[in-house]
Structure 1
Amino acid sequence: MQDNGIKAPNTHRYPPVGACIYCGTTSGRLTDEHVIPKGLGGTLVLPEASCDTCAKITSLFEQHVMRGFMDRGRQAMGIKGRKQHKRPKETALTQTFIQPDNVLLEQEVPVDQAIRVMHLPVLPLPGFLDPLHPPRPDAEQVDITAFDTIQFGTDQFQAIRPHSAVGVQIKDRMAIWDFVRMLAKIAHGYHVATRGMFPLEESPLVPIILGTRHDAKNWIGCIAEHPLPLDRPALHLLNDETLEGDGQSECVALRIKLFATQGTATYILASRIRYLSTG
């Protein structure tokens, strides 16, 4: 992929919310909220949708992801973040080459000759969809089943040949919990953008976003069936649908495919659980 930069579509602004979509406050300053972070090329904006307190919380975990394990991919794709103009353009990268005797050799190579990858965690089916492992109040964090690897730039064999190497070692420190909270933020924001505000106590994602609950595996995971279509010219794909429960509840399920053209996993989240009146 050439580093020509992502040509994102025009920003789409939804009607102002007029309340913080995370805590519900209507007082004080309310700032715009990107459904998908601007650092990932997001162009869907919810005006007047986040108070300063909640914005600090969400900005922190987004920064851990954007400037962490997703940074190489973002730069390779030319996606500009909020402060991208302050970062000097890289002309070279330090690459760790694996020699035939398994010795590691670090060498600086031009950016256009370097291998850059981005790993996206693949999660198991979430509890709300898994009859064998239904939601548990004592569930903690999330499990990882695999990683999707997206490669940018030079082909691996072309990159290692000039260095008489047999491979390249690339290490990433994965901020999994921050990534999961970012997925929850995307799903909740899209739900509010397309369906409007709803009682926040019906959201299993808001406490995860705010860091007050950690049972993400109950509500956030991946789904293999019915993946989002790959024939749309979009960087990321979002889709929501209402699932009927046992006649007493319904759930809004939100599907997310990041970097859709790369054939990545489809994440699925429960953005709202509503119990129906039987009276």
Structure 2
Amino acid sequence: MTDEHIMPYFIGGAHVLKEASCDNCARITSKFELDVSRDLWGDARISYNAPSRRKKKRPTSILMRDEHNPGHKIKVPVEDYPAVMVFYRMPKAGILQGLPETVDLSNNWELVSPVDTDKIDRFTAKYGQRPVMSFKNTPDSFARLLAKIAYGQALCSLSPDDFRPICIPYILGQKKNLSYIVGGRWSYSDMKPQLGYEMRTNCIKFPGKLLIIVEIQILPNNSTPTYHVVVGDVDGEEESDRIYKKIEATYSFDIINAGSYKPVNNDIFHWMPSYWPLPAWK
């Protein structure tokens, strides 16, 4: 068994689950992590000197298309290049909207990115053209990465036997519609300058059922989306009570004792279900 970073090392993750992955699972997760680290965020990670196990091999310049000479490239030192960190803005996960698993919402995901306008202006003045950004669109790998982060976060409070892990088939690629369990907050949270990433384990208690949801924000010191992942659920009143008390959640909702359930429209609680009971639980 190998150690597993909850938030990947390549984005500064410092929290590790010891002996958490078998070799086969580690190979699967490393593939989609590589898609994100190199294809989606490769130039940005180089430009901002993100953590790497091979920093000595990291390039010192980035080739960029020359808008004045088609077919030619400009060699830009990494310190000058205003690379962007690309994210996906997502609606609420399908399961929380009461949708069947066959409904794919990923066509509604939008590419977004915080930008350093000062660095872009300096680049434009120096090179006589606006910077040209290159990246590969990897929505499935990005969503699988979020699901893996969420599962690791849940295991900081719970053991694998405490709940049914809804997310695992999606992490391992056995199920394809990531938008069913992965979603996000449509508006942006306030920036938190001191934080490189933030994760919360939340839970909602229904009659005889507990839903475990993890909230994730990567680089909350910028205007980046906040995501949620439906990690798993718990069956039975007694077991739900036990796990409900075990989770040290920032937000927990006990629908049983509240007496009634109303859809939550406030975007702060973007991970709250819109419908109850969820059709997927029947």
Q: Deviations over 1:132-153 (max 9, x none)?
A: xx23132347334322213359
* TM-score, normalised with respect to structure 2: 0.75
Q: Show the 5 A alignment for 1:234-245.
A: 234-245=195-206
Please say if 1:108 is aligned against 2:79: no
Query: How far off its partner does 1:271 sit?
Result: 0.8
1:57 aligns with 2:34: no
- CA–CA distance in 2 between the matches of 1:226 and 1:269? 17
How far, CA to CA, are the matches of 2:91 and 2:122 in structure 1? 35
Alignment check: 8 A CA contact 2:184 2:225 kept: yes
Number of positions where the alignment pairs a residue of Structure 1 with one of Structure 2: 238
Once residues 143 and 178 of structure 1 are traced to their aligned partners in structure 2, the CA distance between those partners, rounded to angstroms, is: 15
Residue 272 of structure 1 is matched in structure 2 by: 232
Distance 1:104 1:244, change over 3 A: farther
One-letter identity of the residue aligned with 1:85: K
The residue number in structure 2 matching 1:195 is 158
For structure 1, the residue ranges without an aligned partner over 5 or more in a row are: 1-29
Larger helix proportion, structure 1 or 2? 2
In structure 2, the partner of 1:129 is 96
Verify the 8 A CA contact 2:101 2:177 in the aligned structure 1: yes
Structure 1 counterpart of 2:50? 79
CA contact (8 A) 2:188 2:224 kept: no
CA distance in 2 between counterparts of 1:73 and 1:153 reads 15
Residues 10-60 of structure 1 show CA distances to partners (whole Å, capped at 9, x for unaligned) of: xxxxxxxxxxxxxxxxxxxx1111111111111111111111111111111
Instruction: Supply the distance in 2 between the matched residues of 1:97 and 1:43 (Cα, whole angstroms).
Output: 39
C-alpha distance 106-85 of structure 1, shift in aligned 2 (>3 A):
closer
Separation in 1, partners of 2:45, 2:186: 25
Q: Cα offset for 1:197?
A: 1.9
Decide which structure has greater strand share: 1
Provide the secondary structure at the position in 2 that maps to 1:118.
Answer: coil
In structure 2, which of residues 116, 131, 140 is the aligned counterpart of residue 168 of structure 1?
131
Q: Does 1:96 align with 2:68?
A: no
1:252 maps to a residue whose letter is: I
For the 8 Å contact 2:36–2:141, the answer to whether it is kept is: yes
Give how far 1:181 is off.
0.6
TM-score normalized by the length of structure 1: 0.76
Report the Cα distance in structure 2 between the residues aligned to 1:251 and 1:209, rounded to whole angstroms: 18
State the one-letter code of the partner of 1:47.
K
Q: Which residue of 2 aligns with 1:222?
A: 184
Aligned residue runs from structure 1 range 149-168, under 5 A: 149-151=113-115, 155-165=119-129, 167-168=130-131
Letter in 2 for 1:95: M
Tell me which amino acid in the other structure corresponds to 2:149: I
Pick closer, same or farther for the CA change 1:85–1:104 going to 2, 3 Å: closer
- Secondary structure at the residue paired with 1:182? helix
- Within the candidate set 208, 219, 225, 1:259 is matched to 219
Structure 2: 5+ residue stretches without partners: 239-282
Residues 207 and 141 of structure 1: CA distance in aligned 2, closer, same or farther (over 3 Å): farther
User: Which has the higher mean CA deviation after the structures are superposed, 109-118 or 232-241?
Assistant: 109-118
Given residue 117 of structure 1, which amino acid in structure 2 is its aligned partner? V
Whole-Å separation in 2 of the counterparts to 1:64 and 1:109: 23
* Partner residue of 1:208 out of 170, 188, 191: 170
1:138 aligns with 2:102: yes
Q: Distance in 1 between matches of 2:212 and 2:188?
A: 16
Give the conservation status (yes or no) of the 8 Å contact 1:64–1:178: yes
Q: Is the 8 A contact 2:6 2:16 kept in 1?
A: yes
